[in-house]
Structures are given as C-alpha cells and as structure tokens.
Structure 1
Amino acid sequence: MKNDTPSLSDRLSNAVFVTVMKLVQMLPYERRIPLAGRLVSRAAPLLGFTRRVRENLALTCPDLPEAEVKRLERAVPDRLGRVLAEIYSGEEFLARVRDLPIEGPGAEALALAHTEGRPVVLAVGHFGNYDAWRAALSARGYRVGAIYRPMNNAAFNEQYVAAISAIAEPLFSRSRRGLAEMMKFLRDGGMVAFGFDQYFKRGADLTFFGQPARTPLSAAEMALKMKADLIPVYAIRQKDGLSFRIVVEAPIPHSDAETMTQALNDALEARVRENMDQWFWIHRRWKQR
C-alpha cells in the first residue's frame, strides 16, 4: 500500500519554498516577480539547473556562442522563478492576464469550437507562463481543464495544486480516476490542455531540436479519439518581463498520432528559437541520450 505521508525532507523543502513565497508576496507585484526570478537564478548552480541548461544546449545547439550559453544559464532559472511567483500571486496575476487578447491563426477556430460546444485538445509546453493563457481563456467563459502529473514531493504537490486550481478549474490528475473525469469533460464539449514537451519513457522516438526525444502521443491520440481539434497555445513573455501575449496556432491537421505530435514538436521548437530563454531547458528532455 502506498504511503502518502510526506517525508521529513519533503516537508522541510516545502516549508522553505512556502516561506520564500510568502516573503516575496509582501512586495509590490512589479518588484516581487523580478526578485523571485533573481533568487532562483542565483540558486541555479546549487539546484543543478546551470549544469542541465549547459548540457542540453551543448547537445542541441552546439554552435551557440559561449556568451549566449552563459546568458541562458542565468535567464532560464530566472524565468522559472517568475512563473512560480506569478502562480502564487493569485488574483494579482489573474487581473493582469484575464483580459489579454487571444491572437494567432488558431484564435478563430478556438472561438468557434467554444461557441459550438465541441471538444478541443490544447497542446502546451513549458514555455512562457503556461498558466497565463489558461486564465485568459477561462475568464472569457471557455471551459478549460488541464491534466497534471502529481509531483514526487507530496507536501509541495498539495499546495501547488491549490495554487494552480485558483487560476482555473477543473484539473485532472494523471491517474485512472482523473483520466476518466477528463474524458467525460471532453465529451461534454470541454477543452483540455495536454503537455507534450517532457521526456516520456513510453513515448515515441520523435525529434526535437534535431535530436531524438521520447514524446508522449497522448494529445494527438485523444484528439483523434474524440474527433477534436488539436491546437497549440502559448503565453509569450514580453520584454518588460511582466506581461504576455496569448498566441494560438492553427489546428494540427488530423492524420496519425506520430505525425501530429511531430508537428507539435516542430511548432514548439520554432517558438523556442524565437525566445530561447522562455523554454524550461532545465528539464531532462533528452534523457535517453
């Protein structure tokens, strides 16, 4: 029987994180978000982020100038810190993103599916702030759900899920019960966000940045099963570091799951190449290498 009681180390690390977030929240929003970014950036070497960013870039972008590699070693953790502080800012964050315009070639298709009550599978990566677009669509009355994988740190997972639930609901855990609830939600004409940009042991050997990358096919498979549009969506951080553009790509044409998922990888790669510091290069995306 699984023991769901958080370990002592889990509780301690969670307590440190919560304490830092509470201290940061005492500052005005415009100071809070950059400070959280700086804190995570400075802690990046201790957390292993700096090494991970460098290794991933060496594999996928070997010709990148050293100065740019060093910039990304600092900038990528900074963006992670900003995302966390924004998520934990609750209503202040929502007030800044809920009225953002929905742009891009897929915006009309998304609106039409909403009007007609048809299911949509939203394909999302760890790029920009992946909760900003969720808040913006939910504020417009779109029925937007998301699948999440419970974190290994049970203590952190509990309060993190509470924070992201405050942005928009429903959320579906990657469990048998959660998947059953998600299927019902889609059948009722909801929209569900599927992540696809992390290593998945049982995934297909597709390519990302020119390298083999095990990629889950679940988003495409669900779109085919439900006869739903498969639409990539992004919240792109702007130069001020505090605001976003919500961009919706055109629906991916239905074919087979691997072809459709490779199209998702290609679309995300194009976005990342335009904003290299906004994707989470700290992930073990190419773990099989």
Structure 2
Amino acid sequence: MSDLRARLVDTGYAAGWGAVKALPEPLAAAAFSGAGGWAAGRDGKGVRQLRANLRVATGGRLSDAELDALTRDAVRSYARYWLEAFRLPTLGTARVLRDTVVVGTEHLDAAQAQDRPVVLALPHSGNWDAAGVWFVDRLGGPFMTVAERLRPEQLYRRFLAYRESLGFRVVPLTGGDRPSSTLLKEWLGQGRPVCLLVDRDLSAAGIPVSFFGRPTTMPGGPALLAAQTGAALHPVVPQFDGAGWRHVVHPEVDVHGTGRLRERVHAGTQGVADAFAVSIAARPVDWHQLGRIWADVPPDPPR
C-alpha cells in the first residue's frame, strides 16, 4: 500500500470514527442496520461465505429463504459490532456492565478461588470488545490479547489505542520486539488473564479438529498456554441481547491430564471447538465469520 493511500485510509477511518460517535445513538443504529442490509443485498464474496458457513452451523435444515433471512440478519449483527466498535469508548464501562448478562460466571469464580489465571478462547461472535470490558471488571484488571498488524500502520495504532482505552493489553501477532507467545506466557505466569479469538486458523500450524461435524483446524495457542502455565481454559461465546450483550462462559476444558503435551493440546482445542459449536448453533445470527473455515465449504455461488 502506497504512503498516500495509507494516509487516505487512516484519515477515512478517523473521520468515520468521529462522525459515528457524534451521531445520536438511534440514528447511528438505524444507519448501520441499513448499511448491513445493503451489504447483504450486494451478495459479495464475504456474504456468500457467511451464508455457506451458516448453512453448516444450522445443520442444513433451513430453506433457501430462511437461510437468506438469517444471513441478512447476521450481516446486520456484524454491522452492529462495527457501530459499537466506533462508539464503545463513549458508551462507558458503567453502561456496558449494566446491560450485560453473563451465563456461567461460576466457572470463572472457581478459577479465581483456586488463584489460577484464566485463558479465555472466543469466536468472532457478538461484540468481543464489550465482552472484554466485562472481563476487565470481573477479573480485576487488564487481560492480554494479540492483534494482527493492520495496514496501514497508522490504522493498526488507532485500533491499538482504542482497545487499550478499554483496559486491554494488546501485543502484535508479528513484528514485535519479542514473540507474542513468550509475552502471553509471562503474563499468565504473573497470574493475569489472557483472551484470544480462535475460531479461524490463519497459520499453517493449526490443530486438526471437528467443528460442526466437519474437519478443519484451529489455533492451538489457548490450549498450549493453559497446559504450560496451569491456567484454566474457558471457551466464551459473546452474543447480542436486545440493546445489550450476553456472554456464555463454558466450563473449563481440561488440558492438565497425564498424557503427552501434544495430546492434551489436541484434546483441549477440540474441547474449545465443541463449546463454540454449542453456543453458535443456539444463536447463529451473531456469528460473524465471513472467512473460509472448512476446506470443503467455499463461498456460495454468486446470485
């Protein structure tokens, strides 16, 4: 990307960020919902891949019309995520905590009672940033997460500043002074939590799993970190709940047995995939996965 184009992209995001925060909330919500419906109607490659993914997540039970309606609503749900990404700092922590319902808090309480750090594994569902705000409050301090380096660099730094303003500690996936895996392990060693998005494998070293009954791979980092540090590994699935948020915390996935480390990491990653499938199947509309998950599930053909 040229320097000029990079500056234009960053300037455009900055202007949009400021404009969206300045709009009255009902007007902004209506605009983003309309934009989501328009994007779904364009039927681009990402929307067609989302439709194909949702067909798998719903077991192929929906008619074409029902699947189209679900896909349209899912794109609108994704548009809501971006609306809230622009506005979340202005909403304030008190508003997010007030309007958040969490299922399974007892699982986090059990880990804290044992004085164990936690590794939280999340899919791209609902608003994972809003979930992070709740985690910071509930766990009593910041968690560490990893972010891909966006292009241009100015845009990456803008998103970095945004997430750190929410109380997150963000390290780059690549290009940092030290490997992200080392930093995460040290953070857990200090008794602090880690939170990672893991429903799509962007590397060539993912762990083979069955997800919705189909073979794919997922990053093994969460299970490996938990196994190496004694942390409790918990899948968490964020969702929307009316005007607020709902997050499902699943029971601990055990990676601390007596088998070899490789076997425990494979089993733990499969446990994360199984938990994701349960909550995504219960509310597929909030699963924002526009990327290819399964090798044998390409985007639907253009309309």
Q: In which range does the TM-score fall when normalised by the shorter chain?
A: 0.7 to 0.9
Following the alignment from structure 1 to structure 2, what is the Cα–Cα distance between the partners of residues 209 and 152?
A: 33
RMSD: 2.6
Q: Does 1:209 align with 2:212?
A: yes
Following the alignment from structure 1 to structure 2, what is the Cα–Cα distance between the partners of residues 134 and 14?
A: 25
Give the match's secondary structure for 1:88.
helix
Q: Is the 8 A contact 1:127 1:278 kept in 2?
A: yes
Equivalent pairs, count: 282
Following the alignment from structure 2 to structure 1, what is the Cα–Cα distance between the partners of residues 231 and 214?
A: 29
Closer/same/farther in 2, CA of residues 20 and 48 from structure 1, 3 Å limit: farther
Q: Does 1:284 align with 2:282?
A: no
- Which residue number corresponds to residue 201 of structure 2? 199
**Counterpart AA for 2:15:** T
Matches within 5 A, 1:229-268: 229-238=232-241, 240=242, 242-254=243-255, 255=257, 256-268=264-276
Following the alignment from structure 1 to structure 2, what is the Cα–Cα distance between the partners of residues 147 and 157?
A: 12
Following the alignment from structure 1 to structure 2, what is the Cα–Cα distance between the partners of residues 257 and 271?
A: 22
- Which residue number corresponds to residue 22 of structure 1? 18
Higher mean C-alpha deviation, range 14-23 or range 267-276? 14-23
- Of residues 218, 222, 243 in structure 2, which corresponds to 1:219? 222
Matches within 5 A, 1:69-108: 69-89=67-87, 90-99=89-98, 103-105=102-104, 107-108=105-106
Q: Deviations over 1:213-271 (max 9, x none)?
A: 12111110111000110012233211x2x201233211112241111111111111111
- Which residue number corresponds to residue 192 of structure 2? 190
Q: Does 1:111 align with 2:113?
A: no
- Which residue number corresponds to residue 270 of structure 1? 278
State the identity as a percent.
23
Higher mean C-alpha deviation, range 163-172 or range 49-58? 49-58
State the shift of 1:287 in Å: 4.7
List structure 1 runs of 4+ shifted beyond 6 angstroms.
Answer: none
TM-score scaled to structure 2, two decimals?
0.82
Q: Is the 8 A contact 2:20 2:86 kept in 1?
A: no
Give the match's secondary structure for 1:56.
helix
- Which residue number corresponds to residue 172 of structure 2? 173
TM-score scaled to structure 1, two decimals?
0.86
Q: Is the 8 A contact 2:124 2:289 kept in 1?
A: no
Gaps spanning 5+ residues in structure 1: where?
none
